[in-house]
């Protein structure tokens, strides 16, 4: 893709989500695996599709929740047009996996249908409108999909909805730069629950006209539709009028590391800022930029939260599996050394070396400075690094193994 400020920011974002991922899924033998039907995957040639909805009544088993602070009242009205009722969107790829009762309701229902386009995470979609009419405000939906995408199955039921809205509220209250989840709902039955989360397309305080947002992997990924175009990483420094090393260090590496560390030390929540969840935001004047995160499906460190005087008893809070100090160290390393450093920053550095002539060590030094400056030295991390083993498991279970030697980005 040839980037230009005259392009439509949202269409640029969606193109980057779907097609600037060539060569970015080499971090695991399962990275490119998906059980989702082909037409609903981001790399498909399908511009968009319809998501059917169930019309639900609020009850003991069906709820709609929203963040009272949101300024997206029109979006909330879309999903809850009147008190006591709400729409429950169901990804079409999920319909064959539903129980018979829900499937019959969808097939025979007359509820509105959302017009959407897929994003990089597949079961998260961008909502273009409703029944052919344009959406009142840009937003995303994270939907239930019990099949496997990459390493894990992707359910979005009652527990997941409550948890992600709770985590998003925590990050929003503390002013951390994440795309907030502003609403969600679920319906439960004897066979389980089906839910969804509504995600804003802008951070608090960053709703600026002509602002661009790009997924982190799109900075170094190849273009599936224009393979001869240079990566965005090779284009943006000149656009900003900055030396490449300064652009990358000051606008990408340092803010990404600071966001990761601050989320842990301020909230005891562990970000998963890999290339898909780390986003680069900048306004059309090129004066402001930020790295923000997305996805509130995060684990927590109970000991860190206790030391901060924060709640650890909430049943919606997912502690690091195992609760042991060793397990916490390993999971912190998975998310910093594996996701942020190896999958994102190291990929940025390798492309910067090839296309911009930057020394990778300059970027690593910037990351180390940001890590210490944000308080990372106080975290229970050892010099060892950990990542997933090569085994597939069901649910949220996973195994971690030691990899590599030193930790070059902290």
> Which is nearest to 200 in space by CA: 169, 157, 155?
169
Q: Which domain holds residue 145?
A: 27-200
Strand partners, 116: 49, 127
Q: How many domains, in total, are found in the chain?
A: 2
Q: What does the buried/exposed string (b/e) look like for 208-227 if buried means 16 or more CB atoms within 10 Å of the residue's CB? A: beebbbbbbbbbbbbbeeee
Q: What angle do CA 223, 225, 228 make, to 5 degrees?
A: 60
pLDDT of residue 392: 73
Last-in-domain residue among 153, 173, 200: 200
Using alpha carbons, select from 267, 311, 259, 265 the residue that is nearest to residue 290: 259
My answer on whether 75 and 181 are in the same domain is: yes
Domain identity same for 88 and 109: yes
Segment 189-247, tens digit of pLDDT = 877 899 999 999 998 877 677 899 999 999 999 999 999 999 999 999 999 999 999 99
Name the domain boundary from 134, 168, 200: 200
User: 186 with 164: CB under 8 angstroms?
Assistant: no
Residue with tokens 């017009």: 115
Confidence (pLDDT) at 333? 94
Residues in the chain where the model's pLDDT stays below 50 = none
pLDDT of residue 313: 64
Cα separations in angstroms, 364 against 70, 150, 267, 316, 350: 37, 28, 25, 36, 12
Mean pLDDT (the chain, rounded): 90
pLDDT at 391: 78
Q: Dig out the tokens for 197 from the structure.
A: 């989360």
Instruction: Report pLDDT digits (tens) over 12-35.
Output: 999 999 999 999 987 777 777 888
Strand, coil or helix: 2: coil
Q: Is there a single domain that holds both residue 243 and residue 345?
A: yes
């Amino acid at each position: 893709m040839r980037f230009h400020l005259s392009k439509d920011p949202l269409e640029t974002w969606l193109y980057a989500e779907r097609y600037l991922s060539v060569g970015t899924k080499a971090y695991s033998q399962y990275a490119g695996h998906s059980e989702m039907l082909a037409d609903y995957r981001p790399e498909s040639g399908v511009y968009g599709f319809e998501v059917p909805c169930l019309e639900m009544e609020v009850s003991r088993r069906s709820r709609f929740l929203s963040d009272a602070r949101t300024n997206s009242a029109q979006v909330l009205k879309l999903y809850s047009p009147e008190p006591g009722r709400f729409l429950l969107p169901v990804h079409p790829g999920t319909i064959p996996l539903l129980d018979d009762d829900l499937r019959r309701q969808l097939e025979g229902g007359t509820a509105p249908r959302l017009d959407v386009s897929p994003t990089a995470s597949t079961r998260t979609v961008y909502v273009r409108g409703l029944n052919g009419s344009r959406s009142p405000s840009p937003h995303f939906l994270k939907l239930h999909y019990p099949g496997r995408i990459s390493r894990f199955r992707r359910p979005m039921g009652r527990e997941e909805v409550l948890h992600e809205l709770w985590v998003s509220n925590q990050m929003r209250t503390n002013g951390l730069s994440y795309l907030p989840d502003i609403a969600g709902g679920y319906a439960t039955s004897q066979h389980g629950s089906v839910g969804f989360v509504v995600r804003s397309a802008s951070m608090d305080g960053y709703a600026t006209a002509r602002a661009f947002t790009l997924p982190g992997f799109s900075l170094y990924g190849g273009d599936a539709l224009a393979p001869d175009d240079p990566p965005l990483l090779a284009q943006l420094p000149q656009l900003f009028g900055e030396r490449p090393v300064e652009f990358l260090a000051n606008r990408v590496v340092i803010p990404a590391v600071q966001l990761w560390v601050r989320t842990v030390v301020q909230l005891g929540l562990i970000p998963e800022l890999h290339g898909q969840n780390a986003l680069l935001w900048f306004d059309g004047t090129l004066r402001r930029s930020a790295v923000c995160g997305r996805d509130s499906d995060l684990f927590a460190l109970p000991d860190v939260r206790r030391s901060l005087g924060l709640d650890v008893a909430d049943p919606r809070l997912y502690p690091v599996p195992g609760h042991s100090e060793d397990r916490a160290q390993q999971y912190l390393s998975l998310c910093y050394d594996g996701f942020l450093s190896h999958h994102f920053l190291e990929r940025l550095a390798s492309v910067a070396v090839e296309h911009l002539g930057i020394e990778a060590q300059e970027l690593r030094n910037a990351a180390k400075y940001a890590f210490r400056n944000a308080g990372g030295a106080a975290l229970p991390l050892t010099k060892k690094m950990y990542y997933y083993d090569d085994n597939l498991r069901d649910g949220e279970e996973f195994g971690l193994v030691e990899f590599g030697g030193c930790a070059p980005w902290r």
